[in-house]
């Protein structure tokens, strides 16, 4: 089947009922990468079951209840580690050192110019060819509902300065998936780590996420050029098909004739979050996404200043995922809490510089409910 034929078939699939998935097999994830053991870990809370591998600190499966009490796996991915190695490298991992894009891969820091790997047109994306998502992380601690993994990103890796130690803890609590990040460096550097799950609240990679209803707590975005590198402008969302301040079905405006939608081939934009009403922990609500067919709702709370919303525009049905089903056109959305893309090249964007003696921290929560 050609990619075009696969897209045609997949676009039509919208009616299947949600199914309860079996867990992934641990043995299908056991291998060696970078000379380190790779494995699959199963975590459980009252509401959520999650399977995670230390290859890229990757979420492999995330089962949450729908309104009928079925457990639905709401992240796209693959049944085996080999398929992850050969498939879409951004299905579920932590991406870094700089998640999102750096224009032409270049930036200057303290008067020194650095050139990072080019892996997306003429630009650098998600930490480059050998970014954090491509390595085996150390497993520092595992419990029934929590896992901590770390990775030493060496000085010069993908062109970045400084040895960075990144630590990520996933914790399940009730219906929350909590992500805590920490990083230190021994030389000035830039970083923008984020979790890169493709969510599909249908639990079915053949059913488009265009039906999801999305609200994003942002009044502004950062317009880009055709290569999705920010121009430096911070523009209002008012009157654009990117304005999600009122909950809107994703597919409703996705084909509108608007330059930013053309550049992204759909939604692929950085939203400047409204940080005016933080909770006691300093987090604000970034977005809420809901699927009317099964009632699953996911809210994202974060201390980060921005959210990249990507509507799965490059899936073409050729990659076969869990349940032997193709990852179809627009069958997954990424909602990535982070700093602004290309911030190292824009003085008016919040800084993503980390210096020796400082500690980078991030907390982001994915909170599930049913309606």
Dihedral sign, Cα of residue 2, residue 60, residue 270, residue 186: negative
Contact characters 221-260, ligand BGC, x per CB under 6 A: -------x--------------------------------
The enclosing H or E element of 84 equals helix 81-86
List residues bridging with 146 in a β-sheet: 171
> Which range binds ligand BGC by CB under 6 A, 49-57, 162-170, 282-290, 308-316?
308-316
Residue 293: closest CA among 218, 207, 197 = 207
The CB-of-101 to ligand BGC minimum distance in angstroms stands at 8
- 163 contacts 153 by C-beta, under 8 angstroms: yes
Indicate the residue whose CB is closest to ligand BGC.
90
Max intra-chain CA distance, the chain: 58
Residue 196 among the catalytic residues? yes
Least gap, CB of 266 to ligand BGC (angstroms): 10
185 lies in the site for ligand BGC, by CB under 6 A: no
Tell me the C-alpha to C-alpha distance, in Å, between residue 296 and each of 100, 137, 148: 27, 31, 27
CA distances from 273 to 267, 283, 297 (A): 16, 11, 20
Among 268, 291, 297, 342, binds ligand BGC (CB under 6 A): 268
Q: Please choose, out of 149-157, 181-189, 306-314, 320-328, the segment that lies near ligand BGC by the rule CB under 6 A.
A: 306-314
Q: Nearer Cβ to ligand BGC, position 175 or 364?
A: 364
CB of 127 to ligand BGC, least distance (A): 11
Candidate list 21, 157, 297, 336, residue with the active-site label: 336
Exactly one of 334, 335, 337, 343 binds ligand BGC (CB under 6 A); that residue is 334
Residue 143 is classified by DSSP as: -
d(CA 205, CA 198): 10
The CA distance from 286 to 337, in Å, is 8
Candidates 28-36, 242-250, 278-286, 307-315: pick the segment binding ligand BGC (CB under 6 A): 307-315
Specify the residue, 218 or 334, whose C-beta has the smaller distance to ligand BGC.
334
Q: Does 336 bind ligand BGC (CB under 6 A)?
A: yes
DSSP 30: -
Closest CA to 193 of 344, 361, 338: 338
Size of the site for ligand BGC (CB under 6 A): 8
Q: CA 192 to CA 206: how far, in whole Å?
A: 31
Smallest gap from residue 88 Cβ to ligand BGC (A)? 6
- Answer for which of 308, 311, 319, 364 binds ligand BGC (CB under 6 A) is 308
- Give the integer Cα–Cα distance in Å for 45 and 327: 28
Please say which residue, 47 or 93, places its beta carbon nearer to ligand BGC. 93
Alpha-carbon span 327 to 312, nearest angstrom: 9
Binding mask 82-111 for ligand BGC (x = CB under 6 A): --------x---------------------
Residue 2, sorted as left (phi over 0), alpha (psi -120 to 50) or beta, turns out to be: beta
73 binds ligand BGC (CB under 6 A): no
Residue 136 or 228 with smaller CB distance to ligand BGC? 228
With residues binned 3-state (H G I as helix, E B as strand, rest as coil), the percentages for the chain, rounded to 5, are: 15, 40, 50
Among 310, 340, 360, 368, binds ligand BGC (CB under 6 A): 310
**The binder of ligand BGC chosen from 314, 316, 367, 370 (CB under 6 A):** 314
SS3 state of residue 256: coil
Which spans of this chain sit near ligand BGC (rule: CB under 6 A)?
A: 90, 228, 268, 308, 310, 314, 334, 336
- Residues assigned a catalytic role: 196, 336
């Amino acid at each position: 089947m050609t990619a075009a034929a696969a897209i045609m078939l997949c676009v039509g699939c919208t009616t299947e009922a949600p199914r309860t998935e079996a867990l992934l097999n641990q043995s299908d994830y056991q291998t060696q990468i970078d000379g380190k053991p790779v494995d699959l870990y199963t975590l459980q809370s009252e509401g959520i079951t999650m399977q995670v591998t230390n290859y890229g600190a990757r979420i492999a499966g995330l089962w949450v209840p729908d309104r009928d009490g079925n457990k639905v796996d709401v992240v796209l991915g693959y049944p085996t580690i080999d398929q992850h190695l050969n498939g879409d490298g951004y299905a579920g991992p932590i991406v870094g050192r700089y998640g999102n894009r750096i224009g032409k891969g270049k930036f200057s820091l303290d008067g020194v110019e650095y050139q990072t790997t080019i892996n997306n047109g003429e630009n650098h994306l998600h930490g480059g060819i050998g970014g954090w998502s491509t390595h085996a992380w150390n497993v520092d601690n595992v419990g029934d509902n929590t896992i901590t993994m770390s990775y030493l990103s060496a000085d010069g890796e993908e062109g970045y300065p400084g040895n960075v130690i990144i630590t990520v803890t996933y914790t399940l609590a009730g219906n929350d998936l909590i992500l805590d990040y920490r990083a230190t460096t021994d030389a000035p550097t830039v970083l923008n780590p984020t979790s890169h799950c493709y969510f599909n609240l249908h639990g079915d990679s053949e059913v488009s996420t265009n039906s999801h209803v999305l609200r994003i707590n942002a009044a502004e975005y950062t317009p880009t050029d055709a290569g999705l590198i920010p121009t430096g402008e911070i523009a209002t969302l008012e009157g654009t098909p990117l304005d999600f301040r009122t909950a809107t079905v994703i597919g409703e405006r996705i084909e509108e004739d608007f330059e930013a939608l053309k550049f992204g081939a759909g939604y692929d934009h950085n939203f400047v979050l409204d940080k005016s009403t933080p909770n006691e922990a300093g987090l604000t609500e970034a977005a809420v996404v809901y699927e009317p067919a099964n009632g699953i709702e996911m809210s994202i709370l974060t201390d980060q200043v921005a959210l990249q919303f990507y509507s799965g525009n490059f899936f073409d049905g050729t990659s076969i995922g869990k349940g032997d089903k193709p990852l179809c056109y627009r069958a997954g959305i990424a909602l990535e809490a982070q700093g602004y893309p290309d911030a190292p090249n824009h003085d008016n964007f919040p800084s993503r510089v980390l210096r020796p003696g400082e500690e980078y921290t991030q907390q982001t929560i994915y909170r599930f409910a049913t309606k």
